[in-house]
Amino acid sequence: MTLSLFVLIAWVVVIIFVKMPKHISYLDIIFLYCLSLILSTNTFTILDVNLHFVEISRKVEKSFAVITERVITIPLLLIMSANVMHSCIKWYKKLFVVITILIVLLSFHLLLSRMGVLTKHHWKFAFSVLMYTSFALLINLFSWWFVRLGRRKAEND
Amino acid sequence: MNNVRYDDSFNINEWSVLIGFAVGLTVILLLPRRFPLKKSIVFFMIGATTGFFFDHTLGVIPVDYYDINDTSKFKFIDAIAYFMYGPVGYLFFYLYDRLTISASNSPIYVLACAACSISFEWIAHLVGVFHYKHGYSIAYSFPIYLIVLSCWVVIFHLTKQMQR
């Protein structure tokens, strides 16, 4: 049940991602995907294996639900936020979309806890807010750098 | 997950990781430039991400098939070990493009690269970078390499199509 639900969520995120207009190139998307995957997998492993703050269930079905979440859902939502930041819409609309994406990420995190996939020790909800906000900030910073890297190169050529 | 400690000192496995990473980066920098900078970074990142992805899925619960370096816990040297896959990824794409391998010959290229990867993994296992657990052996890595490298070939052709 848990795995099916999170696979369904991941698939819906994939559909939204594929359908949304892209304001960054495919190379930028691959780069950002790699970066967000490294970021999410590392953070989850450190929080679980090293610190035991957010322990992932040892049951096969539930742990695969987390893998689905950190390999598909989190990276794609973070790329969506970077994509929106590179669009031409007004800044308050961009901010609204990014905050919505953060709320969605936090809701999935809460859902994982409620379904017994994640067990939290010495971990407050505020830390999750901080974690996902840092993810979004980092991905956006790297996206600005990487997108401009291509533009600068083209200008020099 | 129980924390298994294999050794405590900074020895051959850490040195192998550092030297391997340094050699990989040096080779990338010394090779004549073949791709635009952005593409080179992406090829490097694809390699590193593959390392991170497999080691954070096969190396952790529920399967927990192997540990990296001194303990089951995640350490900074482990991150460098994953980034060692970066130069591997770049070199794979570089040689694929340099040797102008056709789609029909790509399975042979993938097989050759998988054989090289298995050899490097065996050396890494001997020096204590990888510690296999729960019945996992190097033989299981071979099909994984074949699948991953085949995916890399597909990614290479996709990036080429995007350029057009």
| Nearest-5° Cα angle at A149, A157 to A105 | 155
pLDDT, residue B59, reads 80
Quickly list DSSP for B84-115.
THHHHHHHHHHHHHHTT--TTTHHHHHHHHHH
Whether residue B53 lies within 8 A of chain A, CB to CB, comes out as yes
Residues of B in contact with A50 (CB under 8 A): 73-74
Whether residue B120 lies within 8 A of chain A, CB to CB, comes out as no
- Interface touch B38/A27, C-beta < 8 Å: yes
Whether residue B42 lies within 8 A of chain A, CB to CB, comes out as yes
> What are B112-122's pLDDT values in tens digits?
999 999 999 99
CA distances to A28, A157, B20, B69, B83 from A148, in Å? 10, 14, 31, 37, 24
- Interface touch B79/A48, C-beta < 8 Å: no
**C-beta of residue A80 within 8 angstroms of C-beta of residue A101:** yes
Of B41, B74, B155, the CB nearest to A49: B74
Position B80 pLDDT exceeds 80: yes
The model's confidence at residue B63, banded by pLDDT at 50, 70 and 90, is confident
**C-beta of residue A132 within 8 angstroms of C-beta of residue B21:** no
> What are B128-143's pLDDT values in tens digits?
888 888 888 899 999 9
pLDDT, residue A8, reads 95
- Interface touch A27/B42, C-beta < 8 Å: yes
Alpha-carbon distance A29 to nearest alpha carbon in chain B (angstroms):
10
Mean pLDDT of A92-111: 93
**C-beta of residue B64 within 8 angstroms of C-beta of residue A48:** no
Chain mean pLDDT for chain B: 88
Percentage of residues in chain B having pLDDT higher than 70: 98
Residue A107's nearest CA partner among A17, A4, A6, A36 is A6
Retrieve residue A139's tokens. Answer: 């991905």
- Interface touch A58/B74, C-beta < 8 Å: no
- Give me the amino acid identity at B41: I
**Coil, strand or helix: which one is B33?**
coil
CA distances to A60, B10, B59, B70, B124 from B128, in Å? 28, 12, 15, 8, 6
* HEC string for chain A: CHHHHHHHHHHHHHHHHHHCCCCCCHHHHHHHHHHHHHHHHHHHHHHHHHCCCEEECCCHHHHHHHHHHHHHHHHHHHHHHHHHHCCCCCHHHHHHHHHHHHHHHHHHHHHHHHCCCEEECCCCHHHHHHHHHHHHHHHHHHHHHHHHHHHHHHHHC
Whether residue A51 lies within 8 A of chain B, CB to CB, comes out as no
> What are A107-116's pLDDT values in tens digits?
999 999 999 8
**Coil, strand or helix: which one is B4?**
coil
The separation between CA A99 and the C-alpha centre of its own chain, rounded to angstroms, equals 13
Residue bearing the bigger pLDDT, B71 or A61: A61
pLDDT, residue A89, reads 86
Alpha-carbon distance A81 to nearest alpha carbon in chain B (angstroms):
20
Give the span between the Cα atoms of B148 and B154, in whole angstroms.
10
**C-beta of residue B57 within 8 angstroms of C-beta of residue B120:** no
Residues of B in contact with A46 (CB under 8 A): 74
Of A37, A44, A153, the CB nearest to B53: A37
CB pairs < 8 Å spanning A and B: 73
Give the span between the Cα atoms of A145 and A150, in whole angstroms.
9
**Coil, strand or helix: which one is B2?**
coil
